[in-house]
């Protein structure tokens, strides 16, 4: 949000936090003013009739999509939605090798199945996350079964709001340090759907990785890493090009186009998966858009794993090597949103692969419909 604030200020736009009792009256005045207003809120905000009415104004944009819970809601809701969607096409989510194996403790049978599973797979390490967790809060790692059984083994309601995810114990390392990948997917318009992709960055742990290292060597998000002694943004944030150069230097099995030919196509495919799995729930209101931050892990066999989607993803700040990219992304996003909602006819004939600045189109509902293109998650994911 800070990046958008600074971009708006550079454009000499006003930036106001409307959190008090005068919010409604002030928005009503803006609705009829000859000025663009962008409102940042959650999917829940669009449940209110007043906010919904704002989306009909040609001067209003709402940076949220109604009922986008399958892409941005609690982790259990996302997972259950993904499972249901994939199974409707005749396969299982685990068959796709898209996400690490995950169990929901709120589902009693699934919780019991989990403890049967770990009794037969005693060498696995597990991460336990709260359904509504954010920024690495309240995440725990379990190397041994007994503490896990003691805390969650009853499968009762008291511990129900957690999931267990199998820990990827063989991560690809950068100079001995664990990392994850952040990428961006933008649902720029919902009626019709236009979806764009943008490269992101890597978040690298400050401390070296080992199986018995502290939690901050395993959890790479910036909120945790910024509190590690010796944190420097230049060591924490890496670019995609730095990743590609590192792979070129250390690997004899991967070509010089891993990022371009494997990582980025996988990110785009996951973006399409999130769109299609949630189409049945999204509200297709005018003047709304949704920016998602997608997180991925890469294991030492170069398998790319989708971890989760995040609404209102944080943009890196105080990261000199990313500043140029970040501010260009933000400026282009604002221009794209203003143009696609004010002059949608300009985008009708765009095909996937077309660029708006550094944002790449990955889905145009109109062209997909005209071509008869049918999405099938059981067939469309690349074999890794």
Q: What are phi and psi of 50, to 5 degrees?
A: -65, -45
Express each pLDDT in 21-73 by its tens digit: 445 666 666 666 666 778 777 667 777 777 777 777 777 788 888 888 777 78
Residue 126 is predicted with a pLDDT of 94
Q: Which two tokens stand for residue 25?
A: 């009256």
Element (H, E) at 102: strand 102-104
Give the separation between CA 190 and CA 344, rounded to whole angstroms. 11
pTM: 0.92
The CA-atom distances, in angstroms, between 293 and each of 84, 98, 206, 296, 313 are: 22, 17, 22, 10, 5
Residue 18 is predicted with a pLDDT of 56
Residue 20 is predicted with a pLDDT of 44
First to last CA, the chain: 35
Q: State CA 175 to chain mean position distance.
A: 26
Give the separation between CA 344 and CA 114, rounded to whole angstroms. 49
Q: What stretches in the chain show pLDDT beneath 70?
A: 1, 16-35, 42-43, 158-159, 382-384
Residue 372 is predicted with a pLDDT of 84
What's the angle, vertex CA 51, arms to CA 289 and CA 33, rounded to 5?
A: 90
Residue 17 is predicted with a pLDDT of 62
Task: Work out whether the CA dihedral 269, 265, 197, 195 comes out positive or negative.
Answer: negative
Q: Which two tokens stand for residue 177?
A: 């340090």
| Complete domains list, the chain, with CATH | 2-65 (no CATH), 101-167 (3.30.1490), 179-380 (3.30.470)
Residue 32 is predicted with a pLDDT of 61
């Amino acid at each position: 949000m800070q990046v958008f604030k600074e971009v708006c200020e550079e454009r000499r736009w006003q930036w106001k936090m409307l959190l008090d009792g005068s919010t409604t009256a002030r928005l009503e005045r803006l609705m009829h003013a000859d000025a663009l207003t962008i409102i940042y809120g959650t999917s829940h905000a669009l449940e209110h009739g007043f906010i919904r009415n704002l989306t009909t104004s040609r001067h209003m944009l709402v940076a949220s999509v109604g009922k986008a819970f399958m892409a941005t809601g609690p982790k259990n809701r996302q997972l259950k939605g993904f499972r249901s969607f994939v199974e409707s096409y005749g396969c299982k989510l685990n068959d796709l090798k898209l996400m690490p194996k995950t169990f929901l403790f709120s589902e009693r049978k699934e919780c019991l199945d989990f403890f049967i599973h770990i009794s037969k797979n005693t060498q696995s390490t597990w991460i336990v996350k709260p359904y509504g967790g954010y920024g690495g809060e309240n995440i725990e790692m379990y190397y041994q079964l007994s503490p896990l059984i003691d805390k969650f083994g009853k499968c009762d309601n008291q511990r129900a709001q957690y999931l267990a995810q199998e820990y990827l114990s063989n991560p690809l390392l950068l100079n001995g340090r664990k990392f994850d990948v952040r990428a961006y997917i933008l649902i720029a318009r919902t009626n019709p759907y236009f979806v764009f992709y943008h490269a992101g960055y890597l978040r690298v742990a400050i401390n070296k990785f080992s199986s018995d290292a502290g939690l901050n060597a395993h959890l790479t998000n910036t909120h945790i890493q910024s509190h590690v002694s010796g944190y420097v943004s230049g060591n924490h944030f890496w670019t995609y090009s730095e990743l590609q150069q590192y792979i070129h230097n250390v690997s004899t099995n991967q070509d010089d186009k891993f990022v371009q030919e494997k990582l980025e196509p996988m990110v785009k495919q996951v973006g399409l998966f999130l769109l299609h799995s949630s189409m049945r729930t999204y509200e297709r209101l005018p003047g709304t858009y949704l920016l998602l931050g997608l997180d991925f892990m890469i294991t030492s066999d170069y398998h790319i794993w989708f971890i989760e989607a995040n609404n209102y993803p944080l943009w890196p700040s105080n990261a000199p090597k990313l500043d140029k990219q970040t501010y260009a992304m933000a400026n282009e996003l604002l221009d794209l949103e203003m143009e696609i909602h004010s002059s949608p006819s300009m985008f009708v004939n765009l095909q996937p692969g077309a660029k708006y600045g550094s944002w790449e189109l990955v889905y145009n509902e109109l062209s997909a419909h005209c071509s008869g293109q049918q999405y099938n998650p059981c067939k469309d994911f690349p074999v890794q």
